[in-house]
Chain A
């Protein structure tokens, strides 16, 4: 009887997991669209329940397939953490955005789940790092709410950001052909993940203060420096993210769409130059345009990724029943292929819709922020997040050339997870801060209304 149960779980769980994910995603979409507060809070609570069941099924499935009980222990730890996070954040910061929090937990949980499928030891490290990141992040909204001098520090952001990037480039720690990491006492950092935040604060502060053409040009030079250093250290993905974020922020800051045209032209030109000058750029393009002829060499990674996605089909092979570990760097840059293979395409598409929900939520929050600086920061974080998702998912599926960035919150990698947590909690902090303003405004408006009558 027990054995039968085990096999039923192994065979059926993938369909149930897909169903739960579809449900969860539709609730997330509903919450994003609805203006009814009651619907919003009911859906949000329901989401937490779904998250629990979904995670349980995933880990139960892995336990049954592998025959190892430690997956269930890991499940217990992860669920405890996620619920602790949801509870404590909503208690301490009652004005924080519940949807953002829920979806962050969901993505984090799924990330831990897929990483533990790929490597149990890595999952454990990832879990610890997530805990540490959360501990840091808990203070961020408080800090943002009280600290007043973010706008004044603009040169500090730029100089520290550029310094960090240059130091990494010069120390030349070679990882996967890309000089992007930093090792201190056995712990490896990828500083470009953190410089993203500094860069964002710099651009926002700078363009809030000065937005005449002369100053925009100066900001472009500084942004270009960031991008150039990233390209030189072969971190193409981050370079593109910095560039796109910068261009979009310039437009929201100046409302001048000519900058978009300039940005597109400049970007295309830069692409052509990079293609001509850099070998590593050409290799990516070759692997994109003609993968099957370079299958055993430059295009090995992308073709293995395509095999995984096609093998998954609609419902996937079921956890631990595919071969995602055939793909090089599957736990980092190509984690989306592993999700496609074992969870199936429907689940993977739901995941992408969830990412879009997170992005749209951030932008809708940004639209309601009165202060331009904070609006730009939230907007920029949204862009960085979704564009990174687009780069990695598009790259692994051969929709665009592969650039090698992580899937935020899901991929294995301490810096990536930590930086993404920072970003999410900065958004929460700004939301809380501006909700104070908003309340003040509404009170004032109410007063004004009464005086009219």
Chain B
């Protein structure tokens, strides 16, 4: 081959310009490779973290692929009972069957006309199969659907049944959780609905907003906490006064008046000479209003913020946000109301349960969860949900202090009904007024047992039932007795 333009070659090859160009070219290669590398990392993280989450989005129509190929998996309780399963009739029609009817309506939920509960949060797994290659091939040949993964929930049928029977026609909610793990054993909400017939009942359910059957009151219902909130007022008092709390004294004459505002004790009861233990055990409003007025508002506000007021709870469950306000903008009247859990203060039963659980667990709050594990058809565990700490919300001393107060409630105060020889219980009653009439009040009770080495934590609210002492404490007793095998 002849040299066509030797002059041109000479001009470029010997100059340093060519090396500069080369340098620039290699830098460009590096920069673009780095850009792409960033994209690889991003994509890998995206796919490994978002698959389950995005599958559930109502704009994602990909579930329809699985409806053709997969039979929805079964949901079990922690004691191995079937809570929801899909049965195929002789014509090949699939029917979602709920053996306990409306008992687990909110906890297990439904999967037609939208989704709710475990049917929603575990939807990805229920609709994906773990069948082996040969099984899938043979199912394909026989034109049979593959079985979806099964879900083992943390729910306990025996306890749920006790709560469901007791609550009966009352509206309300019950949450029972395991103290050391945060597993939810009972998640009950009344009024309920029948998940099996939700499609037919849909019109009736949604046309009755006052009844709000679809609302899971246990996790999303917002109620005034009433006297159960005194736990938080007491906690702040302890934080500001330390071990001096034993010196606290108050003389109750049935009501307290401050700046022309008057707050009375329930039934106008005159409690007389009280220390902090007595004030808490007998749930003296006047004494707690007195305490509340003495507290530093900024610190108090911070304490409540640390306890997850005014922000989402640390849990994957669909939950409401409790709200409370104490600060420079609140008047003394607001403070008086807030000290006893009235006024603008609202809480979800789940939140109260979590705070009680943290007290029982020496100050460490656990993230509540309702799914234990995902298993395939042969029982092999695909995914195991480990207990997760939400963090320390109070010191061990503070938890011990509150436990002492709560034990006294059962020993001397409003929770005496729970005294027995088998286990020690610690709790707090509440009667939340949402109207001026005493008959129009919610009965609260939140408790854990055994107080020495807590195992479970029970929170109950019964709407429009009256006082917590009369209505909520007996249910707690039945739940504890059932759990400890006394019934």
Contacts and interface: CB of A to CB of B under 8 A. Distances in A.
A307 B54 contact: yes
A317 interface: yes
B137 A7 contact: yes
Contact of A363 (B29, B133, B137, B140): B29
A11 B135 CA distance: 11
Interface in A326-368: 326, 340, 345, 348-349, 352, 356, 359-360, 363-364, 366-367
Interface stretch (A48-56, A276-284, A370-378): A370-378
Interface stretch (A37-45, A263-271, A392-400): A392-400
Contact of A397 (B5, B20, B39, B51): B39
Interface in B27-67: 28-29, 32-33, 35-36, 38-40, 42-44, 46-47, 50-51, 53-55, 57, 59-62, 64-65
Contacts of B9: 370, 437, 440-441, 444
Nearest to B52: A310
Interface string B1-16: 1111110110011000
Interface residues of B, number: 49
Contacts of A366: 25
B380 interface: no
B40 A440 contact: no
Interface string B216-246: 0000000000000000000000000000000
B43 A436 contact: no
Contact of B141 (A4, A372, A379, A437): A4
A295 interface: yes
Interface string B310-321: 000000000000
A97 to B, nearest CB: 16
Interface string B115-159: 000000000000000000100110011000000000000000000
A441 B1 CA distance: 11
Contacts of A248: 28
Contacts of B17: 255, 372
A296 B36 CA distance: 30
A290 B47 CA distance: 19
B26 interface: yes
Contacts of A436: 1, 4
A252 B25 contact: yes
Contacts of A437: 4-5, 8-9
B32 A321 contact: no
A224 interface: no
B4 A322 contact: no
A3 interface: yes
A313 B3 CA distance: 56
A102 interface: no
A386 interface: yes
Contact of A255 (B21, B38, B47): B21
B22 A367 contact: yes
A10 B8 contact: no
B8 A359 contact: no
A62 B33 CA distance: 34
A255 B24 contact: yes
Contact of A393 (B26, B39, B55): B39
A239 B39 CA distance: 22
A98 interface: no
Nearest to A365: B25
A312 B47 CA distance: 8
A323 B60 CA distance: 10
A303 B42 contact: no
Contacts of A393: 39
Contacts of B36: 352, 356, 390
Nearest to B38: A399
Given A7-B140, A252-B25, A295-B59, A443 B47 contact: no
B231 to A, nearest CB: 37
B25 A306 contact: no
A50 B62 CA distance: 32
Given A10-B140, A303-B59, A321-B65, A348 B6 contact: no
Contacts of A7: 136-137, 140-141
A440 B2 contact: yes
Interface string A220-257: 00000000000000000000000000001001100100
B32 A356 contact: yes
A371 B12 contact: yes
A372 B18 CA distance: 9
Contacts of B29: 359-360, 363
A150 interface: no
B147 to A, nearest CB: 16
Interface string A300-322: 10011011011111100100011
Nearest to B59: A295
A115 interface: no
A168 interface: no
A322 B62 contact: yes
A397 B43 contact: yes
Contact of B47 (A252, A300, A345, A371): A345
B62 A397 contact: no
Nearest to B12: A370
Contact of B42 (A252, A356, A367, A399): A399
B50 A367 contact: no
Contacts of A207: none
A371 B8 contact: yes
A393 to B, nearest CB: 7
A342 to B, nearest CB: 11
Nearest to A356: B36
A386 B20 CA distance: 22
A439 interface: yes
Given A307-B62, A356-B36, A437-B9, A348 B43 contact: yes
B140 A439 contact: no
23 contacts: A7-B141, A8-B133, A252-B25, A255-B17, A295-B59, A300-B59, A303-B59, A306-B46, A309-B46, A310-B54, A311-B51, A323-B61, A326-B61, A345-B44, A348-B43, A359-B29, A370-B8, A370-B9, A370-B13, A390-B36, A440-B4, A444-B6, A444-B9
Given A307-B54, A370-B12, A393-B39, 5 more contacts: A310-B47, A310-B54, A314-B47, A370-B9, A440-B6
- A-B pairs with lowest CB-CB distance, top 9: A440-B3, A7-B140, A7-B137, A310-B54, A307-B60, A255-B20, A310-B51, A370-B12, A367-B25
Interface of A: 3-4, 7-8, 10-12, 248, 251-252, 255, 295-296, 300, 303-304, 306-307, 309-314, 317, 321-323, 326, 340, 345, 348-349, 352, 356, 359-360, 363-364, 366-367, 370-372, 375, 379, 383, 386-387, 390, 393-394, 397, 399, 436-437, 439-441, 443-444
